[in-house]
Amino acid sequence: MSHPRHALDEIIHAPVRLSIMAMLAAAETVEFGYLRDTIEVSDSLLSKHLQTLEKAGYVRVTKGFVGKRPRTWLALTDEGRDAFQSYMAVLRQITQAPPSRLDAGTD
């Protein structure tokens, strides 16, 4: 029997990317600066992780203006929302399962 952690989506299961996905899953859209300030990362690090998520088809990036200020808006794609739900299901499986059952799996 395989340990459920092997089912964790490696693209999502990284601290910064998980924070991004979690916020976007709860929101319709999030502005880049708000996301950066809330998860406390630099512009460049956030951009790097967003590129990974965008490349995976999980995040949609929209650029626009509010007044004269350029803004970047982020949202989950349907695929990203499905991936996050699956990821959360695996996480709950890991945290709720009795340790003996999980330990019985082979790595």
Partner 1 sequence: MTDHADFSAEAALREVERAQGAVRRAGRRAAMFFLTLWLISTAYWLAALLGPEAVRDYSGLGLFLAVGVVLVARLVFRERVYSRMTARIVYPVTGAFVGTSVLASLYTTFLHPLEPGPQWVVPDVVVTLVAGAPLLYGAVRVLRSENDR
Per CB under 8 A, residues contacting partner 1 are 5, 10, 13-15, 18-19, 22-23, 25-31, 33-35, 38-39, 66, 88, 91-92, 94-95
Residue 67: CB partners within 8 Å, gap ≥ 6?
none
Task: Return d(Cα 41, Cα 14) in angstroms, integer.
Answer: 14
How far apart are CB 87 and partner 1 at their closest, in Å? 9
How far apart are CB 3 and partner 1 at their closest, in Å? 11
How far apart are CB 29 and partner 1 at their closest, in Å? 5
| Cβ proximity to partner 1, 1 vs 99, nearer residue | 99
Whether 51 and 44 have beta carbons less than 8 Å apart is answered as no
**Cα–Cα–Cα angle for 57, 55, 61, rounded to 5 degrees:** 70
| Cβ proximity to partner 1, 56 vs 88, nearer residue | 88
SS3 for 8?
coil
| Cβ proximity to partner 1, 26 vs 45, nearer residue | 26
